[in-house]
Amino acid sequence: MKKTMTPAERLIVAADFKPQALQGNRKWLANDQGLLRPELRYQVRESVIRLANFLKGTGVYLKVNSALRAVGYDLIGEIHSHGLRVFADLKLIDIGETLSTDGILLREAKPELLTTMCVAGVSAMKALKNELPDTEVLGVTVLTSLRDADTQAMFTCSTEEAVMRFSHVAADAKIDGLISSPKEAEVLRAKFGIVLSLNTPAIRPTWAIVPGDDQNPERIMTPAKAIVAGADRIVVGRPIVRATDPYDAVMRTIEEIASAVG
């Protein structure tokens, strides 16, 4: 049975930082042990840690993907040390034997949330989940940037139909939850809400403008509307990360979630 969550526990902040281009030759920096490390990876890691420090004490999740792949699983422990939960958005996809190995290695790092791609199939996702009894494993259905034309070309069906197909795969694999856009939250809540948590990216608060937004505009919602539609958690990235005051942006978002839950 799914646990009751506070408004803060319903918010996942996406720490998606893109390194700035370096001029001239690649630069290298020395770490505390005197070993050389590439600046781009170090730069992204520092951005994640800086955000974690800003958000210390808020009780939210911090989502990491590219940074985690770049600098390794030790980043999970560093985020934990700032009192935040970790969403390892690795979108794992491979055969069962490999996902089992991934699960064993991630079990040591203890992320609270982890993503796998539903297209990996039932047996592979089961193998992953078997190794991670204490991590909530979430199946990614259809990426929120995709449109119907994309899913027709890839899966010969509409976006909503593809989401439902992959949600059935996740349920059969007995993982813990789903990743989908808020547009599908209501129908997924009705069908899978008892057994699977619903986690929705493509959240855009009314007070935020994201230049060059790459999300499908037909599949985005505000935090309050997504919660009312049935989302257990929402993922908010650039509106918070690019805000002048990320802490203030987080608190505004938590207040909006609380108003929708209440």
Q: What is the average pLDDT across 226-233? A: 94
Q: Binding site annotation covers 96?
A: no
Is position 191 annotated in a ligand binding site? no
Least Cα distance to 146 among 162, 135, 132 occurs for: 162
Confirm or deny that 121 is annotated as ligand binding: no
Does the annotation count 2 as an active-site position? no
Q: Is 14 helix (H, G, I), strand (E, B) or coil?
A: strand
Residue length of the chain: 262
Average pLDDT for residues 64-84, to the nearest whole number?
95
Mean pLDDT of 102-110: 97
Question: Over 80: is that where the pLDDT of 35 sits?
Answer: no
Nearest to 189 by CA among 200, 175, 202: 200
144 is in an annotated binding site: yes
Residue 1 lies in a domain: no
Position 228 pLDDT exceeds 50: yes
- The reply to whether 89 belongs to the active site is yes
- Distance from the first to the final alpha carbon of the chain: 21
- Total domains in the chain come to 1
Please give the pLDDT value at position 144.
86
pLDDT for the residue numbered 37: 55
- Is residue 2 in some structural domain? no
pLDDT-derived band of residue 38, with 50, 70 and 90 as boundaries? low
User: Among the residues of the chain, which ranges form H helices?
Assistant: 39-54, 66-71, 74-80, 96-109, 122-130, 148-155, 159-173, 185-192, 223-229, 238-241, 246-261
Tokens of 22: 């370096």
In whole angstroms, give the CA distance from residue 39 to residue 241: 21
CA distance 215 to 119: 21
| pLDDT of 58 above 60 | yes
On the 0-12 / 13-18 / 19+ scale of CB atoms within 10 A, 256 is buried
Q: How many CB atoms lie within 10 A of CB 163?
A: 25
In this structure, the strands spanning 28-30 and 36-38 are antiparallel
User: How far is residue 234's CA from residue 8's CA, in Å, rounded to a whole number?
Assistant: 10
The number of CA neighbours under 13 Å toward the Cβ of 1 is: 2
Res 33 pLDDT > 80: no
Q: Does the pLDDT value for residue 41 go beyond 70?
A: yes
165 marked ligand binding residue: no
Catalytic residue among 3, 27, 74, 89: 89
pLDDT digits (tens, 9 = 90+) for 157-197: 999 999 999 999 999 999 999 999 988 999 999 999 889 99
pLDDT value for 25: 46
pLDDT class of 63 with cuts at 50, 70, 90: very high
Catalytic residue flag (residue 245) = no
Give the lowest-confidence range in 14-28, 32-46, 123-137, 241-255: 14-28
pTM of the model: 0.88
Residue 232, domain member (yes or no): yes
Check which CATH number belongs to the domain holding 152 and give it. Answer: 3.20.20.70
* Domain-embedded: residue 14: yes
Would you say residue 215 has pLDDT above 80? no
Say which of 2, 94, 148, 213 is annotated catalytic. Answer: 94
Look up the domain containing 131 and give its range: 8-261
- Identify the residue whose tokens are 């505009």: 217
User: For a pLDDT cut of 70, what percent of the chain falls above it?
Assistant: 87
What is residue 262's predicted lDDT score, i.e. its pLDDT? Answer: 67
**Is 90 exceeded by the pLDDT of residue 214?**
no
**Residue at 148 is within a domain:** yes
Bridge partners for 236 per DSSP: 13
Position 138 pLDDT exceeds 50 = yes
Give the active site residue among 91, 174, 191, 225: 91
| pLDDT of the residue at 193 | 86
Say what the pLDDT of residue 24 is. Answer: 44
**In 10 A of CB 28, how many CB atoms?**
11
